[in-house]
Amino acid sequence: MSKKITHSHQTHKIHIKKGDKVFVIAGAYKDLETQREVLEVIPKTYRAVLEDVNMVKKHTKPTETNPGGINEVPASIHISNVMLVDPKTGEPCRIGRKKVDGKSVRYSKKSGEII
């Protein structure tokens, strides 16, 4: 008789998407004046890659198409350290979800504007 092992891993709803404008609200790159763009979202690890944040040096080997060398590429940061920009005021805001015409949309809790 074998036991079935199940993992109860709670997942959170991700509040940002690729292309969104966000502020970094915590960590080494905290800056509430500079808006950053989300380049990639990694739902499995609950992380996001932002432009010009957490830049790391990556050593690449030369190939036929790539000369190689040391390049700076953005690394991911945790999603809890970023906050979406309110489209109306341009300030950081929390978001909510509601149904509009049968589709789930995100809206700003501060201004009520649909994102």
What CATH code is carried by the domain that includes residue 77? 2.30.30
Bridge partners, 106 (sequence order): 97
Report percent pLDDT > 70 for the chain.
90
Average pLDDT value for the chain: 87
Q: Are residues 64 and 110 in the same domain?
A: no
Q: Is the pLDDT of residue 112 over 80?
A: yes
DSSP-derived 3-state class of residue 5 = coil
* Statement to judge: residues 40 and 75 lie in one domain: yes
Which tens digits make up the pLDDT trace of 53-71? Answer: 999 999 999 999 988 899 9
Instruction: State whether 31 and 62 are in the same domain.
Output: yes
| pLDDT above 90 as % of the chain | 55
pLDDT at position 15 over 80: yes
pTM equals: 0.77
Structure tokens at 78: 């945790």
Six-digit token pair at 6?
Answer: 């199940």
Residues 31 and 72 in one domain: yes
CA distance 23 to 20: 10
Q: Which of 8-12, 21-25, 31-35 has the highest mean pLDDT?
A: 21-25
Both tokens of 50, joined, read 């932002």
CA distance 52 to 42: 17
Q: Is the pLDDT of residue 9 over 60?
A: no
Alpha-carbon gap, residue 52 to 115, rounded angstroms: 23
Contact 86, 21 (CB under 8 A): no
Based on the fold, state whether residues 96 and 68 are members of the same structural domain.
Answer: no
Same domain, 62 and 106: no
Q: Which domain holds residue 47?
A: 21-84
pLDDT band at residue 21 using 50, 70 and 90 as cut-offs: very high
